[in-house]
Amino acid sequence: MNSFSIEKPVRYYDQVYNSIKEKIVKGVIKPGDSIFESRIAKELNISRSPVREAVRALEKEGLLVIDEKSRITVYKPTLKDIFDIYECRIALESLATRLTTRYATNQEIKDIENTVLNVKQNLNPEGEQNRDVLIEENGRFHDLITKYSQNRRLQKQLRELKSLSQYYRVLNFQGENREWIVFNEHQEILDQIKRRNEENASLQMKKHLETDLQHLKEIFNNQLKPGKTE
């Protein structure tokens, strides 16, 4: 007898959550912009409950801010936030890289390598880059290294930083040749993981994230600093 199958509908909460998050991360909704639950519910023709649930989840992840008067605004980066988040990422991801170099199977390392190969295939030496694909594969590279570390507590701490890390990852791709710089740094990390050199792999991840931090600091001072105008 043939088996039956159906596709489960995507919950309203998930749709609202993903939509708001994508708009924030990609800069469609700007830092400091107001969010109105009633307006979103009306536009989507749904009740406010899933909107409220999505807003609370995004507040918990740091992408939305709710003040004492219940006004909802988009997270505004500060230089201190950037330093704090990257201090955590440098410590945690350099350790994750060390552990993945030690414990990952050959197939798992191949999975990490595939993200680098996918970026290489999508890099355009002469024209416009497909940044959405590059940013997605960039995230997968870091996610897989964390996943294959076999340390659940480390993974939990990095999950708590994931939404803001995604936010900064999009900003990090601004600037001339950033795609190539990130690709080359990922290749260097991968090379050391494949050699099973824990010390060098960890060091390359640390250097990579420190370079990202310096670049984000420059972006903040040029574009995001309070008082700057477009």
* Co-location of 92 and 155 in the same domain: yes
Per-residue confidence (pLDDT) for residue 78, from 0 to 100: 92
Q: Is the dihedral of CA 132, 138, 139, 143 positive or negative?
A: positive
Closest CA to 173 of 125, 207, 139: 139
Q: Poorest-confidence range of 91-95, 160-164, 195-199?
A: 160-164
Q: Tell me the pairing of strands 64-66 and 34-35.
A: unpaired
Spatial separation of the C-alpha atoms in residues 200 and 193, rounded to whole Å: 8
* Co-location of 152 and 185 in the same domain: yes
Q: What are phi and psi of 74, to 5 degrees?
A: -75, 140
CB 105 within 8 A of CB 113: no
* Co-location of 139 and 171 in the same domain: yes
Would you place residue 9 in the very low, low, confident or very high pLDDT band (cuts 50, 70, 90)?
A: confident
Would you place residue 130 in the very low, low, confident or very high pLDDT band (cuts 50, 70, 90)?
A: confident
Q: What is the CATH number for 46?
A: 1.10.10.10
Q: What is the CATH number for 131?
A: 1.20.120.530
**Final residue of a domain: which of 74, 100, 117?**
74
Q: What is the DSSP letter of 196?
A: T
* Co-location of 115 and 158 in the same domain: yes
Residue 36 inside a domain? The answer is yes
Q: At what angle do helices 37-44 and 12-25 cross, to 10 degrees?
A: 120
* Co-location of 66 and 83 in the same domain: no
Q: Percentage of the chain surpassing pLDDT 90? A: 79
Spatial separation of the C-alpha atoms in residues 28 and 104, rounded to whole Å: 38
CB 171 within 8 A of CB 123: no
* Co-location of 52 and 120 in the same domain: no
pLDDT, tens digit, for every residue of 167-206?
A: 999 999 988 889 999 999 999 999 999 999 999 999 999 9
* Co-location of 116 and 191 in the same domain: yes
Output the pTM of the full model.
Answer: 0.86
Residue 7 inside a domain? The answer is no
H or E segment to which residue 65 belongs: strand 64-66
**How many independent structural domains does the chain possess?**
2
Give the range of the structural domain holding residue 142, as residue numbers without chain letter.
79-224
Residue 229 inside a domain? The answer is no
Residue 61 inside a domain? The answer is yes
